[in-house]
Amino acid sequence: MKIKVLLAVQFALILLLAAMLAGRYVSFRDTRTLVREPAVPAEATLAYTPAPPPPIPAAVLVKLARARAMMTPRVEQITEHIYQARGFALGNVQMVVTDEGLVIIDTTESPDAAREILKRFREITDRPVRVVVYTHGHLDHVLGTGVFLEEGTEVVSTRELVDFVEKDFVELREFHVRSRLNQAGLLAPAYARPLPLPALFRGLDSLDGLVRPTVTFEGAHSFVLGGRTFELYQTRGETPDHLMVWLPEGRVLFCGDLYYESFPNLSSPMLEPRPVKGWAESLERMLALEPEILVPGHTAPVMGRREVRQRLENYRRAILHVYEETVRHINRGTPVEQAAAAVRLPPDLEGLDYLQEMYGRVDWSVRGIYREKTGWYDGRGTGLAPLPPAHLARELVGLAGGANNLLARAVMLQQGGEHQLAVELCDVAIEANPGDKLARVVKAASLDALALTSGNLNMFGFYHSAAALERQAAGVSPR
């Protein structure tokens, strides 16, 4: 009997010890994360009059003058049989004249621009349009095709273009139109300041009128028209569906958007990551052809074998440098923000006219490569299951003593020319209270300043649209 009692006492003690340990190391409470939604702060009531836009820096004026010159409509004869129309819209149109008819390479984003171009082409020749070639599926290369079509005209592209335009023109149609309008600085036009340049895009409010290809290929395709050989090779870079057109008789290479006079747009901020390494590999293939004339889808032709080689080699080296430096940062675990600030072109490339950050940017390229190569989690814990951004913003506004204090600091930064930090503080106030009109007006003024000092056509457009959208949300027209 005593043994049974002793065993019972020992068992009770074990249970007690287990309960104590469980209480210390195991919780039986609700496992859901504790979430407290802070109160919405009051709207700011500061008196504020936006300052006039700052003067445009001289270096930016030089870039604007260069852009305006590029946008002057013209038809240029490149060889006896090849013509290029540029400046009518964002994309160029190329015409190759043969004894049996015309080959048109790309058609712009605008039927109206295409009609103007065709009228100019018809002053040169009345031969029928036999073939239209799409270098890739971006809208500034394909939407004017209907203007050039005649009975029996073939439309040629890579097979991958079919899926590419299905994504952009059908599945993501509304997003694609909105993102392109954003890029062009054309969103909320009633609330935007006047543009210092004509809009680069024409007719972006619709993606209607796309003519699907009638002939597609993988890898390579060739045809002969009027005794002239056209060799088409699938490439990768600006898009995965890209191609280049090689005319071996005259050693002329139509490269689409694999080269133009700017650091390349390796990552467009609102679109999918681009195959950057494939872009460099495409440039290697272009170099192997040893072209004497290079005809891009934007900007002017490059003439002479030596000049073409030098530009393509430097273009390739610039892309590979940014790619390889970014991959090194990824392998080191560098946060993307730090990598974007650290990666720069080598000094001998940075000063070249045709590698200025007029259309693409190095820091955008770094961000795009991170998106292409890595997942969405940065390893720092916070981003695994984040709260809605408004929660942190409301806490910060509370710590600042209210929206008036936060925006007073934003205005002070704005007056001192620190516009990026000013807009980031405004974003905190807007995230905390989307109805805060003053925060949006202050932000719009700094966005206008950032646009005018950016020196990059895409960046200008994005800032211009963002400023107009903030004024629209506040219901305030520009002064």
The DSSP annotation for 100-157 comes to: TEEEEE---S-HHHHHHHHHHHHTT----EEEEE-S---GGGTTTHHHH--TT-EEEE
Residues in Cβ contact with 154 at an 8 Å cutoff, skipping those fewer than 6 apart:
130, 131, 132, 214, 215
- CA separation for the pair 335, 382 (Å, rounded): 13
* 128 and 102 Cβ atoms separated by less than 8 Å: yes
pTM, rounded to two decimals? 0.90
Kindly report the number of other CB atoms within 10 A of residue 201's CB atom.
22
pLDDT on residue 153: 98
Rg (alpha carbons) of the chain, rounded to whole number: 29
- pLDDT-derived band at 121 (thresholds 50, 70, 90) equals very high
Average predicted confidence (pLDDT) for the chain: 92
262 shares its domain with 125: yes
pLDDT on residue 21: 66
Closest by CA position to 117, among listed 96, 137, 89? 89
308 shares its domain with 418: no
Q: Is the pLDDT of residue 112 over 90?
A: yes
270 shares its domain with 412: no
Average pLDDT over residues 247-271: 96
* Residue 154 tokens, joined: 């073939």
The domain that holds 237 is classified in CATH as 3.60.15.30
333 shares its domain with 461: no
- Which position has the higher pLDDT, 144 or 455? 144
Average pLDDT over residues 173-184: 92
294 shares its domain with 431: no
Q: Is the pLDDT of residue 24 over 80?
A: no
Q: Which helix (H) or strand (E) holds 237?
A: none
- CA separation for the pair 446, 197 (Å, rounded): 20
Phi-psi region of 117 (alpha: psi -120 to 50; beta: other; left: phi over 0): alpha
Percent of the chain with pLDDT over 90: 80
Q: Give whole-number Cα distances, 459 to 190, 362, 465, in Å.
A: 20, 13, 10
Q: Which helix (H) or strand (E) holds 2?
A: helix 2-25
Average pLDDT over residues 295-309: 97
pLDDT on residue 37: 85
Q: Give whole-number Cα distances, 387 to 38, 383, 424, in Å.
A: 12, 9, 19
Residue at 211 is within a domain: yes
* 321 and 289 Cβ atoms separated by less than 8 Å: no
* Residue 376 tokens, joined: 């969405």
325 shares its domain with 410: no
* Residue 136 tokens, joined: 């890739």
Average pLDDT over residues 118-137: 98
- pLDDT-derived band at 115 (thresholds 50, 70, 90) equals very high
DSSP 333: T
Average pLDDT over residues 141-159: 97
- CA separation for the pair 467, 461 (Å, rounded): 10
285 shares its domain with 421: no
Residue at 258 is within a domain: yes
pLDDT tens per residue, range 352-389: 999 999 999 999 999 999 999 999 999 999 999 999 99
Q: Is the pLDDT of residue 23 over 90?
A: no
pLDDT tens per residue, range 33-83: 777 889 999 999 999 998 887 787 887 777 777 777 777 899 999 999 999
The domain that holds 431 is classified in CATH as 1.25.40.880
DSSP 270: T
- CA separation for the pair 249, 98 (Å, rounded): 13
Q: Give whole-number Cα distances, 238 to 157, 228, 256, in Å.
A: 15, 27, 9
* 101 and 225 Cβ atoms separated by less than 8 Å: yes
Find the length of the chain: 479
* 147 and 112 Cβ atoms separated by less than 8 Å: no
Strands 220-225 and 215-217 come out as unpaired
* Number of domains composing the chain: 2
DSSP 329: H
Average pLDDT over residues 21-42: 74
Residue type, 411: V
Residue at 385 is within a domain: no
409 shares its domain with 323: no
Average pLDDT over residues 279-289: 98
pLDDT tens per residue, range 304-356: 999 999 999 999 999 999 999 999 999 999 999 999 999 999 999 999 999 99
Q: Is the pLDDT of residue 199 over 70?
A: no
Residue at 47 is within a domain: no
Strand order of the β-sheet with 82-86 is 74-77, 82-86, 93-98, 101-105, 129-133, 154-158, 215-217
Closest by CA position to 186, among listed 440, 466, 459? 466
- Which position has the higher pLDDT, 269 or 194? 269
Residue at 403 is within a domain: yes
pLDDT on residue 195: 74
Phi-psi region of 241 (alpha: psi -120 to 50; beta: other; left: phi over 0): alpha
Residue at 376 is within a domain: no
Q: Is the pLDDT of residue 22 over 80?
A: no
Domain ranges, residue 242? 66-342
The Cα angle at residue 296 between residues 373 and 311, in degrees rounded to 5: 75
- CA separation for the pair 361, 265 (Å, rounded): 7
86 shares its domain with 146: yes
pLDDT on residue 17: 72
What per-residue string of b and e applies to 181-191 under the rule 16 or more CB within 10 Å gives b? bbbbbbbbeeb
315 shares its domain with 181: yes
First-last CA distance in the chain: 98
Q: Is the pLDDT of residue 26 over 70?
A: no
